[in-house]
Structure 1
Amino acid sequence: MVADQGLLAHQRRALIMEAIRRDGAVRVSELVEQLGVSDMTVRRDLDALARSGDVEKVHGGAVGLVGRTGDEVGFAAKSGLEPSAKRAIAEAAALLVTPGSVVALGGGTTVHAVATRLVNIPGLTVVTNSLPIAQLLESEGVKSPTSPSVLLTGGAPTPSQVLVGPLADMVIGSLHVDLLILGTHGASGRAGLTTPNLAEAQTNRALIGCARRVAVVADHTKWGVTGLSSFAGLHEVDYFVTDAGLTTEDRSALAEVVGELVIAEAADASGTDALPG
């Protein structure tokens, strides 16, 4: 985008949408500089785009199409959403992992945050269908002798860099793991856990089927979101780990159906989550 203070509202919004289609997300601070307008003007533009259903606002900016049933946002675009919540959730979820156990890690940026906390837990074997998680753990293995052994399932990659499909399902179906840590596009009392990707839904079902215990990690913004395909009911979840942004009413609804609801308190309670700089 090129800054131009003479742009009309519809022109600015078209440029914002162009940036979101290209990058998956935008930051308010960057738009202020690029468009040559005030912070308030950018926020009004994002409000208008959110009302029309073109974007979803997040702290510090906006991301495209996160809330729509059939849309899937890439790993890079999602990585900047709710960072302090993800850190808190990751710390809490890592406490569920026992040294010497076999742990399956699904895809997504929240599970990736959990993976960063597992590198110093001794004797772990990690099964994953996430390319970023496998790359993270393999690189950490070079630095630390306690880093987990990693088994990558194989399969065809999605926009979220998760391996899915018949090959992934076949490999996963032959395994037995102590704990599965799984992310989700959305969660609701009616639809359960959902994803916009049909193949990923099937592979998630395979992961759940091979696990003795299932932990779902999802920040509060995932509650009430429904993707195209359901892959599990909330009653199948042993631990649902989320952050303190979940309302009291929603906490009660979740606690009634999952095995245990874990509320992770963020060390940084300022509420200033932002898209990455």
Structure 2
Amino acid sequence: MGVGNLLARRRQSAILAEIRTIGSVRVAELSARYRVSEMTIRRDLAALARQGLVEKVHGGALLSGSGTGAGRAVEPGFEAKSSWAPAAKEEIARAAAALAVPGSAVALSAGTTTRALARHLAGVPRLTVVTNSVRVAEALEEEAGRRPEGDGATVVLTGGVRTPSDALVGPIAELALHELHVDLLFTGCHGIDPSAGLTTPNLAEAETNRALVGCAGRVVAVADHSKWGVVSLSSFVSLSGVDTLVTDADLAEPARRAARDHVRRLIVADADPARGG
């Protein structure tokens, strides 16, 4: 990735953090602050709008859904979420996989980041993976097919009702999880906020995620920078209930400081060792 693209990503991350703090921004003010042209700022806002993070308005942008209060209960489909920040999710997955110990039992919640993580976990010997995600189970099965017979992870898939994000939720999933105990839970989320904690727009998924948290010795949240400051309908674990947060290098410094005030450990994944973090 070129220097120009890196600077644009960092500027967009900072702009997004500002919008989430104050609700809106103006093109002219951003142009003066970052000492770039108004056309450059419009391209930044357009990039954020394509990801569904902001709404462009005349002369600036608003937080997505802020005009009506909508969006907190809207659950995007799995394929739509897969197109958001794929490079960051891959960096996070690689870093998070290093936390899994051979021979241990881990749980993975549903999500596009946890699906990416599943591929990396397939290389950890003698792992048992509990998941309520059809996509995670499929990824583990695909990876097992590329390895010597018997070398794949043991997968425990809960039953339940399937959501738009391909999570299995409801009483059946929760009953299964209440009988299990894992060393480590890797959980994704729709949003992460110092006050609200980890949130999801789906009430049933939030309840099942609480059961996942309850069966885990430690909780690892995997969330890219675009999730910071987003508050969805239902909280399922406080930020202080998270042992480790694994995020990407585009998380703004104020957000990093806030995260460190709550979680026990912050890991900033970075594909390029030359970059700071």
- Check whether the contact 1:157–1:164 (CA below 8 A) recurs between aligned residues: yes
Q: Using the TM superposition, give the Cα deviation of residue 146 of structure 1 relative to its aligned residue in structure 2, in angstroms.
A: 2.1
Q: CA separation in 2, counterparts of 1:155 and 1:80?
A: 26
Unpaired segments ≥5 residues, structure 1: 1-39, 57-64, 271-277
Give the letter aligned to residue 89 of structure 1: I
Aligned position for 1:275: none
Which of the residues 243, 248, 251 maps onto 1:246? 251
Aligned position for 2:157: 152
What's the secondary structure of 1:227's corresponding residue? coil
Q: Using the TM superposition, give the Cα deviation of residue 55 of structure 1 relative to its aligned residue in structure 2, in angstroms.
A: 9.4
Q: CA separation in 1, counterparts of 2:274 and 2:237?
A: 31
Q: Deviations over 1:12-65 (max 9, x none)?
A: xxxxxxxxxxxxxxxxxxxxxxxxxxxx8xx59x68x82369995xxxxxxxx9
Q: Using the TM superposition, give the Cα deviation of residue 132 of structure 1 relative to its aligned residue in structure 2, in angstroms.
A: 0.7
Aligned position for 1:75: 78
Q: Using the TM superposition, give the Cα deviation of residue 82 of structure 1 relative to its aligned residue in structure 2, in angstroms.
A: 0.7
Q: CA separation in 2, counterparts of 1:228 and 1:132?
A: 23
Does residue 174 (structure 1) correspond to residue 179 (structure 2)? The answer is yes
**What value does the CA root-mean-square deviation take over the aligned residues?**
2.6
Q: Deviations over 1:104-155 (max 9, x none)?
A: 0001001111111011111001000000111111232233232101010010
- Check whether the contact 1:70–1:228 (CA below 8 A) recurs between aligned residues: yes
Relative to the length of structure 2, the TM-score reads 0.74
- Check whether the contact 1:88–1:267 (CA below 8 A) recurs between aligned residues: no
Q: How does 1:108-257 map to 2 (within 5 A)?
A: 108-144=111-147, 145-257=150-262
Aligned position for 1:90: 93
- Check whether the contact 1:121–1:146 (CA below 8 A) recurs between aligned residues: no
What's the secondary structure of 2:96's corresponding residue? helix
Q: CA separation in 2, counterparts of 1:230 and 1:55?
A: 20
Does residue 101 (structure 1) correspond to residue 122 (structure 2)? The answer is no
Displacement over 2 Å in runs of 4+:
51-56, 139-143, 266-270
Q: CA separation in 1, counterparts of 2:218 and 2:261?
A: 18
Number of equivalenced pairs: 220
Relative to the length of structure 1, the TM-score reads 0.74
Q: CA separation in 1, counterparts of 2:264 and 2:273?
A: 28
Q: CA separation in 2, counterparts of 1:130 and 1:203?
A: 11
Q: CA separation in 2, counterparts of 1:69 and 1:209?
A: 24
Q: Using the TM superposition, give the Cα deviation of residue 266 of structure 1 relative to its aligned residue in structure 2, in angstroms.
A: 2.6
What's the secondary structure of 1:257's corresponding residue? coil
Identity of aligned residues (%): 50
- Check whether the contact 1:213–1:238 (CA below 8 A) recurs between aligned residues: yes
Unpaired segments ≥5 residues, structure 2: 1-42
Q: CA separation in 2, counterparts of 1:129 and 1:203?
A: 9
